[in-house]
Chains A and B, each alone.
Chain A
Amino acid sequence: MAENVSDTPSMNETPTEREPRTVSDIPTVVCDRVDIVYRVNGTGAGRGSATAALNRMLRRKNAEKAAGTRTVHAVKNVSFVAYKGEAIGLIGTNGSGKSTLLKAVAGLLPVENGAIYTDGQPSLLGVNAALMGDLTGEKNVYLGGLAMGMSREEIKERYQDIVDFSGINEKGDFITLPMRTYSSGMGARLRFSIAAAKDHDVLLIDEALATGDASFRMRSEERIRELRQHAGTVFLVSHNNKSIRDTCERVLWLERGVLRMDGPTEDVLAEYEAFTGDKSDKTKAKPKPKPKVAQPS
């Protein structure tokens, strides 16, 4: 089965030869032979021990080696072109470089080789880090919105929508309570609602749909479809094949940092499901040495 995966015709198409689709022909993200390499400091033996640290300091020459700087080649030679109006799913087993690629598209990670060109500033859907648990949900809506670059007026305008969408106030006046008092599901819903409130040119979503209950998930998917119409391009990383099917019409399959397949959702997911389904057989049939370094997740 795997043999015909590597011969997938879509892999050999140039972007310009791609069959006409409902989306426009205006590219929004161009990934040109991108390599991403992580440098991880201090993986050498005994970073924690004082003698090891002293040893490193004394032997300055070998510091790099002794400090155990290791490189992790997380994304290898990936090229693709995303067009305006597309929703693209990124799939692959854990640690295959999906999130890394997304961060690089957002301009938050440097590329080792190649280049990523984007139309405007792609935004990673996620404001978690800007929010503060000690502040009320209300203040966090403002803080998160400002952190994403919205103006105060814009936030004021959308405030009610954000709160309604999150459903935080369905069970009482929770929006005026500090966020640390929220349940994890409520917090995740508010975070998604804040993040999704802004219209983005290129929107990158990392597993965001895994949060909340069934009804919230449906609303989220609905919102992502909306964002797509406003915005342009949406990238979605998910392990949930159903939410990929529901929202994306094109899928990139990354495996060990290599773009293994790029094509319509159904084709790629069919191969992917077959791949993840029978992997135990293949392990027995064709054992391979383990990779030297672990891929980051």
Chain B
Amino acid sequence: MTQVLHTPPPAPVTAEDDLAALAARHGLSVSGARPSLPAYVGQLWARRHFITAFATAKLTAQYAQAKLGQVWQIMTPLLNATVYYFIFGVLLDTKRNVPDYIPFLVTGVFIWTFTSSSIMTGTRAIAGNLGLVRALHFPRAALPISFCLQQLQQLLFSMAALAVILLCFGVPVAASWLLAIPVLILQFMFNTGMSLIMARWGAKTPDISQLMPFVLRTWMYISGVMWSIDKLTGKHKGLPDWVAPVLKDNPAAVYIDLMRYALIDSFHGSQLPPHVWIVATGWALVVGVGGFIYFWKAEETYGRG
């Protein structure tokens, strides 16, 4: 822009009322306004096919360039479990205190990965897809929800691998395996809520995605992914009384332990915190619904500025 311009022509003399009135007379609406919550839910429902298609597309695109292709869907969680088994089971000898340690560990790792990757991708859901947000119109919550769905699909692959592992290590098939379904539904609701909250934060402050790995790692270690919280708190006699219940009622631990209870016969109900199903449902509803409303509140600001 180096060329010289003359003073701009005077603005059109139309009064503001005229244009606004013209717009009102023909029923035009303000562009880019936030819809009401019910309308927003409706829009989201209308885009449900996009949400699922986007999740599936992301999932398949993830390993499209790899020679082994979709085999990595199962290989990645298995390799993860192997690494943790080597470090915590063999080197640190955690397995001595826990019956069926490998099923215990693998269940923990898979369920934890579902939550942690949902939160991680949620943080980048808006900030990492600004091109999409700035080009097309759709309820923005479609993105974090879609990413959580992708993680759920990933988890279902992992669960198939987990079923094989369980059978290999002599865990009997039981009716309680069916409990895995409500656990996954509740966990998915919780994850989606977390992901929506993180998406709003991450959209405003992209730096959060740098911080999240550390937060998540801390959370993982206190949630009993590789060890039993009971055994850990039992070892340290000096701990205040509230520590064990707080650790056991944190959502990650609740969903992990519920899944262990559902799948592993040697993991007994007595190892679960009291009223565990109420706690699990409470986390899912509060975080799921709250996160959705929190995200919607800033709907019109995403991808702007």
Residues in A lying within 8 Å of B, measured CB to CB: 2-3, 5-8, 11-16, 26-33, 38-39, 76-77, 79-81, 93-96, 103-110, 114-119, 121-124, 126-130, 132, 134-135, 139, 142-143, 146-149, 151-152, 178, 255-256, 258-261, 279, 282-283, 286-288, 290-291, 294-295
CB distance from A67 to the nearest CB of B (A): 13
Residues A93 and B136 in contact, CB atoms below 8 Å apart: no
Q: A294 contacts which chain B residues (CB < 8 A)? A: 1
Q: A116 contacts which chain B residues (CB < 8 A)? A: 30-32
One of A6, A38, A105, A147 near B54 (C-beta < 8 A):
A147
Residues B14-40 near A (CB distance < 8 A): 14, 16, 18-20, 22-24, 26-33
A279 to B131, CA, bound (A): 35
Q: A30 contacts which chain B residues (CB < 8 A)? A: 19-20, 22-23, 28
Residues B28 and A79 in contact, CB atoms below 8 Å apart: no
Residues A95 and B57 in contact, CB atoms below 8 Å apart: no
A130 to B16, CA, bound (A): 38
The 9 closest A-B pairs by CB, nearest first: A107-B32, A117-B23, A129-B131, A134-B64, A117-B28, A146-B50, A107-B31, A279-B3, A258-B8
A143 to B58, CA, bound (A): 11
Q: Does B160 contact A (CB under 8 A)?
A: no
Chain A CB within 10 A, most for which of B1, B5, B6, B26: B5
A255 to B9, CA, bound (A): 11
- Identity of the chain A residue whose Cβ is nearest the Cβ of B305 in the assembled complex: A39
Q: Does B96 contact A (CB under 8 A)?
A: no
A79 to B14, CA, bound (A): 9
Residues A135 and B61 in contact, CB atoms below 8 Å apart: yes
Residues B49 and A26 in contact, CB atoms below 8 Å apart: no
Residues A134 and B65 in contact, CB atoms below 8 Å apart: yes
How many B residues are at the interface, by size bracket?
Answer: 35 or more
A166 to B49, CA, bound (A): 24
CB distance from A128 to the nearest CB of B (A): 7
A243 to B58, CA, bound (A): 37
Q: B30 contacts which chain A residues (CB < 8 A)? A: 115-118
A68 to B166, CA, bound (A): 57
Residues A105 and B65 in contact, CB atoms below 8 Å apart: no
Q: A104 contacts which chain B residues (CB < 8 A)? A: 31-32
A260 to B3, CA, bound (A): 15
- Identity of the chain A residue whose Cβ is nearest the Cβ of B7 in the assembled complex: A6
Residues B31 and A15 in contact, CB atoms below 8 Å apart: no
Residues B12 and A117 in contact, CB atoms below 8 Å apart: no
Residues B31 and A147 in contact, CB atoms below 8 Å apart: no
- Identity of the chain B residue whose Cβ is nearest the Cβ of A28 in the assembled complex: B28
Q: B19 contacts which chain A residues (CB < 8 A)? A: 15, 30-33, 79, 81, 117
- Identity of the chain B residue whose Cβ is nearest the Cβ of A95 in the assembled complex: B1
Residues A178 and B64 in contact, CB atoms below 8 Å apart: yes
**A149-B31 contact in complex given A103-B134, A108-B304, C-beta closer than 8 Å:** no
Residues B115-132 near A (CB distance < 8 A): 129, 131-132
Q: Does B13 contact A (CB under 8 A)?
A: yes
CB distance from B1 to the nearest CB of A (A): 5
- Identity of the chain A residue whose Cβ is nearest the Cβ of B136 in the assembled complex: A147
Q: A255 contacts which chain B residues (CB < 8 A)? A: 5, 8
Residues B2 and A283 in contact, CB atoms below 8 Å apart: yes
Residues A143 and B54 in contact, CB atoms below 8 Å apart: yes
One of B18, B28, B49, B133 near A146 (C-beta < 8 A):
B49
Chain B CB within 10 A, most for which of A38, A79, A94: A79
One of A33, A94, A128, A134 near B135 (C-beta < 8 A):
A128
Q: Does B138 contact A (CB under 8 A)?
A: yes
**A108-B6 contact in complex given A15-B19, A149-B47, C-beta closer than 8 Å:** no
Q: A95 contacts which chain B residues (CB < 8 A)? A: 1
Residues A26 and B26 in contact, CB atoms below 8 Å apart: yes
A124 to B129, CA, bound (A): 16
